[in-house]
Structure formats: structure tokens, C-alpha cells
């Protein structure tokens, strides 16, 4: 299992890095959009496993619409497409063969899937689009490197030294020792990556961004874990050997993106 995990990462990371660095922004957005839509599909499958009669195709189409509108028209596009999503999903349920039975839970699950994954993935796309070139490329790489290094640090430290469960009911395999390892490696990755990429950020901002990611990334992982436990599944899917599904791989990224981008915007860094 550990070998599969590492092989998948070794194959995927260079491809994604090449897409970010050398491909035009729309190519990265297409990859990101596909990942968000696949993650949404996995979330809807989990909702059905939890007994909610969630539909599939309309939420997936609406997720694509939210992302496209957000990346073309910015925050206005996100706001309008989010409203359309809520109205469309509620109205579409009227034509469901089981309506009104299960309507409340199904529409709630569908709406959350689209808005949660659509809005958070939109923010990650904005991180590539909004900063002046090539700063957007550098910030995306910094963002991904900090989260992935922190995640790996938490995984290996927790597996080696973990003794005290962080959240026994939600994620019994995650430990406080692993969390500490993730925090330390996130700060180390932030300092090293900021220097290599020549981000031009003051040390206080590098530390601020590292703090955000050290907190938000494990929170995003725990948020998804609570949904998995409720639906009775171990992984969101088996798409990525050793890693689970797209939602398992993007939960911390999507959850962290709005806070990370919010810090950059609030401080005038983008």
C-alpha cells in the first residue's frame, strides 16, 4: 500500500508541476475543474451510501457551471451561479419519482456538494489567475508544496511515533504526534519553498501563510473524514491506488484555498 501511494505521487506530481509551470492558465483550470467534478461525484456517492437519495448529473453539471462562471466573471460569477444552483436543485427535485420523500436530505446534500467543492475549487483557480504573472505560478506551487509536504510529514511521523489519537471518533488513525509532524514540516516547506521560488514575501507573511496551511489542511481532511464515517466508507473511491479517491486527495487543498487566498487579498499581496 505504501509503495502504491508513493508511485502514484511520483507519477502525478511531475505532470501537475509541468501543467502549472509551462501550460497556459486555462490548462491548469481544466485539470482543477475535472478534479473538482470527480470529487463532487465521489461526495454524492458517499451521500447515497449514507441513505440520502442524491442525484448525480445535475449537480455535476452545476459544479462545472459554478467553476466556469467564477473563473470568467470572478466573484460575481460565483455569486450568481451559486444562486442558480440552489434554485435549480430545489426545483429539479419536484420531478423526482420519490418526491416529496427524501427531498430535504437529497437537496441539502446536492447543494452542499456543488457549493462546497465549487466555491473552494474556484478559490484555488483564482490563486493562479489573480496574481500578476509569474507570481500566480509561484504561489500555487508554494501552496501545493506546503500542503503536500505537511501531509507527508504528518503521515510518516504519525505512522512511526503516533500514540495519541487526535479525533478517535472521526479519524482514529490520525494522531497528535502526526499533527505536530505535519505542522513542523509545513513551516519547513514554507521557508524552503519561499526561498527557492523567490516569492518576495516578508518572513512574517511566509509564516502567516504557513500557519494558515498548517491549521486549515488537517481541518479539511477531518471535515471529509466525518462525512466518510457517516456514510460508512473508508475512502471516497478507489481511483488512486494507495490514496483513495480525488476527494481524499483534494480535501485539504480545497478547504485551505479560500483562507489562503483570503490572507493574500486582505494583506494586499495579490
CA–CA separation, 155 vs 152, rounded Å? 5
Query: Taking a C-beta distance cutoff of 8 angstroms, is the pair 227, 196 a contact?
Result: no
Query: Taking a C-beta distance cutoff of 8 angstroms, is the pair 46, 228 a contact?
Result: yes
Return the C-alpha cell found at 99: 418526491
Query: Residue 48 above 80 pLDDT?
Result: yes
Query: Residue 242 above 80 pLDDT?
Result: no
Q: pLDDT tens digits, residue range 81-133? A: 999 999 999 999 999 999 999 999 999 999 999 999 999 999 999 999 999 99
pLDDT value at position 117? 97
Mean pLDDT score of the chain: 93
Per-residue CA distances from 186 to 169, 191, 251 (Å): 25, 9, 17
pLDDT value at position 193? 97
Sequence-ordered list of residues with C-beta below 8 angstroms from that of 75, at least 6 positions apart, any chain: none
Across 211-232, average pLDDT = 96
Report which secondary-structure segment, H or E, holds 69: helix 57-92
CA–CA separation, 226 vs 245, rounded Å? 16
Percentage of residues in the chain having pLDDT higher than 90: 86
Query: Taking a C-beta distance cutoff of 8 angstroms, is the pair 54, 108 a contact?
Result: no
Query: Residue 55 above 80 pLDDT?
Result: yes
Q: 9 falls in which pLDDT band (50, 70, 90)?
A: low
Query: Residue 67 above 60 pLDDT?
Result: yes
Report which secondary-structure segment, H or E, holds 173: strand 171-175
- Residue 126 CB-half CA count within 13 A: 26
Q: pLDDT tens digits, residue range 150-173? A: 999 999 999 999 999 998 899 888
List the beta bridge partners of residue 165: 175
Residue 168 DSSP code: T
CA–CA separation, 115 vs 140, rounded Å? 22
Across 179-190, average pLDDT = 97
Q: Which residue shows C-alpha cell 482514529? A: 172
Amino acid at each position: 500500500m505504501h509503495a502504491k501511494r508513493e508511485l502514484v505521487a511520483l507519477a502525478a506530481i511531475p505532470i501537475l508541476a509541468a501543467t502549472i509551470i509551462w501550460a497556459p492558465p486555462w490548462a491548469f483550470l481544466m485539470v482543477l475543474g475535472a478534479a473538482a467534478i470527480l470529487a463532487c461525484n465521489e461526495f454524492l456517492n458517499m451521500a447515497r451510501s449514507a441513505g440520502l437519495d442524491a442525484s448525480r448529473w445535475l449537480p455535476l453539471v452545476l459544479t462545472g457551471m459554478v467553476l466556469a462562471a467564477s473563473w470568467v466573471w470572478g466573484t460575481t460569477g460565483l455569486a450568481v451561479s451559486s444562486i442558480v444552483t440552489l434554485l435549480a436543485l430545489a426545483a429539479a427535485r419536484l420531478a423526482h419519482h420519490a418526491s416529496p420523500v427524501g427531498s430535504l436530505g437529497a437537496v441539502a446534500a446536492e447543494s452542499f456538494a456543488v457549493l462546497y467543492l465549487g466555491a473552494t475549487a474556484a478559490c484555488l483557480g483564482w490563486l493562479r489567475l489573480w496574481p500578476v504573472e509569474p507570481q500566480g505560478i509561484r504561489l500555487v506551487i508554494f501552496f501545493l508544496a506546503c500542503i503536500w509536504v505537511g501531509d507527508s510529514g504528518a503521515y510518516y511521523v504519525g505512522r512511526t511515533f503516533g500514540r495519541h489519537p487526535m479525533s478517535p471518533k472521526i479519524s482514529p488513525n490520525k494522531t497528535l504526534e502526526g499533527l505536530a509532524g505535519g505542522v513542523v514540516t509545513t513551516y519547513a516547506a514554507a521557508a524552503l519553498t519561499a526561498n527557492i521560488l523567490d516569492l518576495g514575501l516578508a518572513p512574517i507573511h511566509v509564516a502567516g501563510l504557513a500557519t494558515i496551511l498548517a491549521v486549515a489542511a488537517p481541518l479539511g481532511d477531518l471535515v471529509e473524514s466525518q462525512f466518510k464515517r457517516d456514510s460508512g466508507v473508508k475512502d471516497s473511491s478507489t481511483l488512486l491506488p494507495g490514496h483513495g479517491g480525488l476527494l481524499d486527495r483534494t480535501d485539504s487543498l480545497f478547504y485551505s484555498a479560500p483562507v489562503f487566498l483570503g490572507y493574500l487579498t486582505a494583506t494586499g499581496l495579490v
